[in-house]
């Protein structure tokens, strides 16, 4: 009788494990891929599973750009001029 109970527990655990594995596969297919672009209107991107604030980038005709990223009380300004020089400053 004891052997029968142990056998039933093993079968139940294996069947339950299969159910969990199939539900994990189903949940995984619902998630967007890591390379999917962030929808318009969102103020952050998802990188490495974490929220990263998106900057407000202004691009000029000569190829230069300026981007401001706000994080709490601090503002990070990233700039690149037409010659290709990059500069990043942070004001708190």
DSSP string, 5-22: HHHHHHHHHHHHHHHHHH
Could you tell me if 44 and 7 lie in one domain? no
Could you tell me if 24 and 43 lie in one domain? no
Could you tell me if 47 and 5 lie in one domain? no
- Predicted local distance difference test score (pLDDT) of residue 52: 83
- Residue among 62, 57, 67 at smallest CA distance from 81: 62
pLDDT in tens, 34-75: 567 777 788 788 888 888 888 888 999 999 999 998 888 999
Could you tell me if 25 and 58 lie in one domain? no
Specify the number of domains making up the chain. Answer: 2
- Predicted local distance difference test score (pLDDT) of residue 43: 79
Specify the range with the lowest mean pLDDT, choosing from 16-30, 46-60, 75-89.
16-30
Could you tell me if 90 and 48 lie in one domain? yes
Give the count of beta carbons closer than 10 Å to the beta carbon of residue 69.
19
Could you tell me if 39 and 54 lie in one domain? yes
Q: Whole domain around residue 79: which residue ranges? A: 35-92
């Amino acid at each position: 009788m004891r052997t029968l109970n142990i056998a039933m527990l093993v079968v139940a655990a294996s069947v339950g494990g299969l159910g969990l594995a199939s539900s994990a596969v189903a949940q995984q297919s619902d998630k967007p891929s890591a390379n999917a672009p962030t929808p318009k209107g969102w103020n952050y991107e998802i990188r490495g599973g974490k929220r990263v604030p998106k900057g407000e980038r202004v691009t000029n005709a000569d190829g230069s750009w300026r981007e401001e990223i706000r994080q709490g009380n601090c503002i990070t300004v990233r700039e690149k001029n037409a010659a290709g020089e990059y500069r990043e400053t942070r004001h708190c």
